[in-house]
Amino acid sequence: MSEKLRYYGHGKLLITAEYVVLDGALALALPTTVGQSMEVSTRASTISQLNWKSYTRENRLWFFASFRINDFYDFDIVETNSPKHALYLQKLLQEARGLNPHFLELTSGKKVESDVSMKLEFPLEWGLGASSTLIYTLAKWAKVDPQALLAKSVGGSGYDLACAEANSPILYDRSEGGPLWKEVALDYPFKNNLFFVYSGQKQSSADAIKWYSLQKEKDITLIERVTAITRAIVKCERLVEFEALLREHEELLADFLGRERVKDLSFRDYWGEVKSLGAWGGDFLLVTSDRSVEETQDYFRGKGLGVFISFAELVRYGRGCE
């Protein structure tokens, strides 16, 4: 018996409603042109085992683990180069098995060995969704709902799993208790004035969620205003209007979180707007500029930030729909 399966998830960028998306604020999120692929090979064997290998975009093996499959929830770690990552993956496998008892089940005494190969298309430290694309592709392989697997394992808003599947920018909403999302047409006349800059720091989404859960109670007024900003940002036709909305969004969140805007912290002399994406303090920044690409890129290089990507290059566009 020999079988090969392939799955793929897009990366993600959260443009609006960071943190408050957890409380029901409408969020604008973007699937990226880069993501992560999974390839699964299954064969008859003398043992029931899962062999997992994860590769960087340069084809460097950064993680491996082997699991012996025994009882219903039993994925024993046989070997690994990273116990921390192996335990995380073990948790995901166990929860996937709990959601679908037929996933990797042993039937009629037959033993099966599966080899999984994961391949990233972006640097691991960029924070574009190495974990979310893992959960998404694993869920597809296990034939379970990705959102259910997320809820059973690490938790979170789930916008990143929606991005993994989406072919265009999405509006993401948890206000009715369950995740709802739709693709939207987002073709800004000023998209050549928008760029993504890597902050040089990796931010843990799980840690950010945990931190936020310990902060103030839900602010309904804030949620309503962020939702209104999100709707307005989707419909923007002028750069100056877009910048004003980004600035208001940053000021609202800064006040609520009791933290300084990233522009006030590190880019006070910058002529455009700078917005944190996702958890504040790391990963990518969205920047606007009405000056040349060269001058804009030189500014951030002067700050020691060399990863500078155009909006059009990183954002995945499909047909979209209103």
What's the CATH class of domain 2-181? alpha beta
Angle, vertex CA 138, rays to CA 133 and CA 139, nearest 5 = 100
What is the rounded average pLDDT of the residues 199-217? Answer: 67
Q: What is the mean pLDDT of the chain?
A: 91
- Summarised one tens digit per residue, pLDDT across range 260-318 is 999 999 999 999 999 999 877 668 999 999 999 999 999 999 999 999 999 999 999 87
148 burial via Cβ count (<10 Å: 0-12, 13-18, 19+):
middle
87's enclosing H/E stretch is helix 83-99
Q: Let me know: does 277 contact 315? Beta carbons within 8 Å.
A: no
- φ/ψ region of 157 (left if φ > 0, alpha if ψ in -120 to 50, else beta) reads alpha
- Summarised one tens digit per residue, pLDDT across range 35-82 is 999 999 998 888 899 999 999 999 999 999 999 998 666 899 999 999
pLDDT at 320 (0 to 100): 41
pLDDT at 322 (0 to 100): 38
**Residue 202 corresponds to which tokens in the numbers above?**
């990796």
User: Is the model's pTM score more than 0.85?
Assistant: yes
Q: Do domains 2-181 and 184-314 have the same CATH topology?
A: no
Residue with more model confidence, 59 or 213: 59
Query: What topology is assigned to 184-314 in CATH?
Result: Alpha-Beta Plaits (3.30.70)
Q: Domain coordinates of the chain in residue numbers?
A: 2-181, 184-314
